[in-house]
Amino acid sequence: MKPNDNIDNVIIKIGGMHCAMCVKTVAEALGKVPGVRAVNVNLANEKAYLELEDERFSIEAAKKAIESAGYQYLGREGEENLIEQDQAFTRDLRSRMRRIIIGFITGVILMIPMFIEINLPFPMAYLMLVIATPVFIYLSYPIFRAAGQALRNRSLNMDVMYAMGIGVAFFASLLGTFEIVLTRDFLFFETAIFLATFLMLGRYLEARAKGKTTAAIKRLIGLQPQTVIVIRDDVESEIPLESVVINDIVIVKPGSRIPVDGVVISGESYVDESMLTGESLPVFKQTGAKVVGGTLNQNGILHIRAERIGRDTVLAQIIRLVEQAQGSRPPVQRLADVVVSYFIPMILAIAILSFGFWYFVAEQTLLFALTAFISVLVIACPCALGLATPTAVTVGIGRGAELGILIKNGTVLEVAPRVTTVVFDKTGTLTTGKPLVTDIFPVGISTAELLRYAAAVEKNSEHPLSTAIVNYAKELEITIPAADNFAAFGGRGVTAYVDNRAVFIGTEVFFQEHRIPISPDILSTAEKYADAGKSIVFVAIEGQTVGVIAIADTLKNSAASAVEKLREDGLKIAMITGDNRRTAQTIAAQIGIETVLAEILPQDKAVVIRQMQAKGEVVAFVGDGINDAVALAQADIGIAVGSGSDVALESGDIVLVRNDLNDVSAALQLSRKVMSRIRQNLFWAFAYNAALVPVAAGVLYPLFGITFRPELGGLAMALSSVTVISLSLNLRRFNPAR
């Protein structure tokens, strides 16, 4: 069942999530909202990605579901105030830091009696109680509040575990102070304080690190100016960007970012388009030129008519594409999801069994058993598991966007490293896609007359070769007559009637199909053109071949180096084209491609790819994103090469915005790097819990006398999440080998 195309998918910013169980709780809550088909919640960027089913969905219902689950609704994409969010984020960090400082100082004070004997007229426990209680309440209130909300939602999450751990520590201390059931040997005041402090420290460090994972998106958003100068009713005024409407005349001064996609109606200037194309040299713009929002006007004043605004601009589309991709999950995440679903019940069971074993079986003291119980509760952490994949995906896809590589979903990251064969389309991909007529060989007819008939038929076709013929005729100022009964034959040729005469234009195979003879002179000339790497088009009038037209398309500068780099990566390279074999092999030889699939009709490209896949090949198809949609869809990875066009953004799994073929290898390298980092993150997350939970339970005590203090467990828990995030943040420094 396909999603309703008339309903936009929704991205919601959520506050208060800090572990994998939070993600699960939010996803389940939003999944119950009417009209929601599927939910994906990303812990790294704290957003929920909703795939909608029908019109029953309401944002108010989603907000209620989030808040009922105990989390904060921070706005829908496009509605949230980024400045206010940043301010709120900063305030939250400061609040956490205050709690950390107060908690650490108080913990140190509570430890003084352990090293210095202090004589008081009353038990020291009473003073420790007075000092610890207000600080404990201040530190632990957010944890207990979140735990209470989770229990009301019948959910076990890490807040519940942490609340149990620090709660047991403080309550035992309270009983010990007044010698109710327990003695004053059970004073865990400093433990409770340090536990709450380290938990807060972990979340502080985690929040700061997670903030860095979305740096790429923030930089892209920063390319949009907040205010715009427009002319309305001959009056200049400065208005917010969101107030601009289509056909507004926007004034862009030197040094300012262009705020909208549009066309220059007056003025001249050089525009830096490197954010979009990667080209360092600025592009000259004058009246009639197209401009893209987010690019930088350098030295002149431009008056621009707004054609696309808001969510419809190329930059907005790129931002939305990157955000959605960052919110996706590769299949490898499923392993972590399965583990997390059993994690908390398993840890709770281990904690209870540890207490029971040491107290009832090993006959250790109640103090020892209680310490093991608390240590297991606080050292266990699914946070690292929950962060392992989304942080790497978020940072990796963000880094790709900065390099002009738009990866559209997390699944691509997992498939791309397994690619064995890269298949290139020729026209518009390996070549510039702007073919020019180079030679004309007429027989029994003048060159002008041959062009006249050919252009009359070809002006009805959108094929690049057709465009080249029509443009050449116009350059020679040849009058192009009307054509009747035009028909196209799928990449092989076209026919029409011109001056009541049947005209056939196409390949040699097309002429053979229609039994149109080609003279030896024309055929040998065509072969000579083909040997030079030119595309050839035969022309026949009334069943008689009257000549051949040679058309050449220039190879992209990056074609040869891109092929060489892919071959160095151990990949098989192939080229697929509708051109005749001789021409195709000549072009391929120039850039080092040995496998050539020529005379392939557009609709058959997917068949060829399917045949490769049947032989066990994992295929990446590289096309221009215009006429390669079927092949891009059939390939395991579809890579669209295009300069930010709508078609390119919609086509393929990866979009190379800069039109640089070297980015094919860069995209595959980045995918391999991200997947490697995900595996490293998952390894460390699993290893942390696998190694330290048994230690906290006391398995090393019989042999080595080693135990684990609860407060150290809290610190280790914090560091596990920070380690995983830090490993992911290293992806920001990724640079492809060229």
- Residues with catalytic function: 425
Hey, how many other C-beta atoms are within 10 angstroms of the C-beta on 61? Answer: 16
261 Rama sector, left if φ>0, alpha if ψ -120 to 50, beta otherwise: beta
CA 368 to CA 355: how far, in whole Å? 8
Hey, how many other C-beta atoms are within 10 angstroms of the C-beta on 307? Answer: 15
CA 682 to CA 676: how far, in whole Å? 10
Q: What are the CA-CA distances from residue 549 to residues 436, 446, 522 (Å)? A: 10, 13, 10
Name the CA dihedral angle for 635, 637, 641, 643, rounded to a multiple of 10 degrees: 130
Name the CA dihedral angle for 13, 17, 19, 22, rounded to a multiple of 10 degrees: -90
User: CB-based burial of residue 185 (10 Å sphere; 0-12 exposed, 13-18 middle, 19+ buried)?
Assistant: exposed
Cβ–Cβ < 8 Å for 367, 186: yes
The closest alpha carbon to 505, from 554, 456, 576, belongs to: 456
The residue assigned the tokens 């380690």 is: 723
Sign of the Cα pseudo-torsion (610, 615, 620, 624, in order): negative
Helix (H, G, I), strand (E, B) or coil at 210: helix
Structure tokens at 234: 């001959």
Q: Both ends of the chain: CA-CA distance in Å? A: 43
Name the CA dihedral angle for 417, 422, 427, 428, rounded to a multiple of 10 degrees: 10
CA 39 to CA 11: how far, in whole Å? 10
CA 173 to CA 184: how far, in whole Å? 8
Helix (H, G, I), strand (E, B) or coil at 285: strand
CA 540 to CA 542: how far, in whole Å? 7
Helix (H, G, I), strand (E, B) or coil at 357: helix
What b/e readout covers 233-263, taking b as 16+ CB neighbours within 10 angstroms? eeeeeeeebeebeeebbbbbeeebbbbbbbe
CA 712 to CA 276: how far, in whole Å? 49
* Residue 626 φ/ψ, nearest 5 degrees: -110, -55
* Residue 188 φ/ψ, nearest 5 degrees: -110, 25
Cβ–Cβ < 8 Å for 18, 71: no
